[in-house]
Every structure is written in C-alpha cells, then in structure tokens.
A = this chain, B = another copy of it.
C-alpha cells in the first residue's frame, strides 16, 4: 500500500507538502499540487485513517450496540442514524450483542479499543454501571431501551404515553377489559408500556384485578404463545394490547389458529409500526415510533457532546402516534 512517503519521493517533494496538498489545507503551488495528485492517482494511494486518527484524535466512527440486528425496529432506527451520520463523514460500527450481557461488556470494551468518537446503544440492565463509567471517556447516548434513573443522555419514544394511547383505544372499542402481551421482564421498555396499560384500565375505573397479562416477549413466537395462553382461558376476551408489533403478528396468527377472527372476535393493537404492519391482513393498528426522528436526535445529541457542548436535555421522550388500521 502506497503511503505519502512514496508519493513524496516520487513527486520529489516533502511529505508535509503531500499532506497539505491531499488535504487541501496550507499553501501549495498549483503545479506541485497537480503533480502530487497525479502521482497519488498512479500509485492508487488510499489514506490510512488509523494513522490520521492517531495524530488528530478523531476516528470518525460511531459505535452502535444493538441487542438484535435482525429486528426491524432497531435496524430502522439505525438506518436513520446512518442516513444522518453519513453526510457528516461518520462510519458506523455496528455490533450485535444478541442480548447477552457478557457479550455486551466485551463489545463496549471493543468499541473503546477502537476509539469510536461516539457510542449509541440500546441498553440492558446489566449495562447500567458500565455505561456510567464509560460516559466520562466517550460521548454516549442511550436509545429506546433506557436506563431508568441514569443521567446519561437518553432518547426514546414515550413508551408510557404510547401504551396509554393503545390501551385507551382498546378500552373504547371493546366490551371487556383488554389483556396485554408484555415485553420481556429484563427489557426496560417493557415496564412503561405495562404501566401505561394498567393506568389506562385504572382511568376508567377498572381495578388491577381486571388486568390480564401474559408474556409476549417482543418476538413473533412469544406473541404466539402468549396469545394462545390468553385464548385457552377465555374469560370474555375481545381486545389485546401487544407490547410490540412482532408479538402482535404472532398473536394474530394464534387468534386465527384458534379459530377466531381479528378484529371481529378479538381486536389487537401493537407498538412500533414496523413496515410489515401495513401489508399483513388484518393490517395492524399500532403505535408509531418516530424512528427517523430518534435517529436524528441521537446523532444530534452525540454531536453536541463531541463538540464539547453541554447537553441541554438528558432525556428526550418523543411521542408515539396512534395509527389506526384494520386490527382495531
């Protein structure tokens, strides 16, 4: 691989001149500049970012830690980050922890070794203290799966408000108190969604005894199993709030397999608004997460920190939006 040294020798100039020419800073006589560019071209020169990073600090890479690359919501958000980061010259280093806390620790370590300029992560409870220690060295922003009570900058859809929207709609549309397919206990976004559901019941005078929950686990399969359980014990059930779209799709399937119809027999409301929800039948009524806005906000917050500016707010909750379709 050709280096600036090679170019310098071949062009008969010093390395500094080459550097100046290629980076277009400092004075360089047009002739020499042309010559240098020509030689660089001939040699197929490609600058080495590692070396550059060593001297001026910035690697121009952003680390992203996701619990599951194969999740439509996460990747949709990451795409938003990518689209916002790319024009600024940042590259994304995406690593998937598969929800494994130990892997997560290692990944966070690797990100530091790579000296990423900023870190965006979907947290898990096991990461909380780790994040606390890292944030003093690297700008961080936590997305979607928040760390409750932490003062790390965090951005997310308002899980609670979204859940209220969903539950309120179901209560209005159903004869009986709706049930809920909850997210995994260990995922923080599960909690405000559950709380929203419970509070909506309370708001119309229903007691927690009227609440019925089953684990949906944020997956197709979990939703399927949870719904199947709900159906097995059918105490007048005609509405279900699935904590995310994946589990909603699983639930839809379970309803059908059990011989019922959605929305006629049972109505469903999901959460996230992943693309598939528009095309399936019945199309899914759901709470839309502002994915692009989240991605942009994340990058914005990170930029602020990287520029040394104080972060204005450290918890941004973007409102979810109710999207009505066929399932409720």
Contacts and interface: CB of A to CB of B under 8 A. Distances in A.
A280 interface: yes
Contacts of A82: 69, 95-96
B48 A115 contact: yes
A155 to B, nearest CB: 19
Interface string A251-294: 01100100000000000000000011011110100000000000
A132 to B, nearest CB: 13
Interface in A87-138: 91-96, 98, 103, 109-110, 112-115, 133, 137
B48 A113 contact: yes
A50 interface: yes
B224 A253 contact: no
A113 B54 contact: no
Contacts of A49: 113-115
B276 A249 contact: yes
A51 interface: yes
Interface stretch (A6-14, A23-31, A73-81, A180-188): A73-81
A86 B53 CA distance: 24
A93 B91 CA distance: 8
Given A103-B86, A224-B279, A249-B279, A91 B114 contact: yes
A88 to B, nearest CB: 13
A79 B69 contact: yes
Contacts of A218: none
A47 B113 contact: yes
Contacts of A61: 93, 114
A16 interface: no
A224 B281 CA distance: 13
Contacts of A232: none
A250 interface: yes
A46 interface: yes
A69 B75 contact: yes
Contacts of A195: none
Nearest to A64: B94
A50 B59 CA distance: 9
Nearest to A275: B220
A311 to B, nearest CB: 21
Given A220-B275, A253-B278, A253-B279, 17 more contacts: A44-B133, A47-B113, A48-B54, A50-B51, A50-B54, A61-B93, A69-B82, A70-B75, A70-B275, A79-B96, A86-B95, A91-B95, A220-B276, A249-B280, A250-B279, A256-B281, A276-B276
Interface of A: 1, 44, 46-51, 53-54, 59, 61, 68-70, 72, 75-76, 78-79, 82-83, 86, 91-96, 98, 103, 109-110, 112-115, 133, 137, 220, 224, 249-250, 252-253, 256, 275-276, 278-281, 283
9 contacts: A50-B51, A50-B53, A72-B72, A82-B96, A91-B95, A224-B279, A250-B279, A276-B280, A280-B280
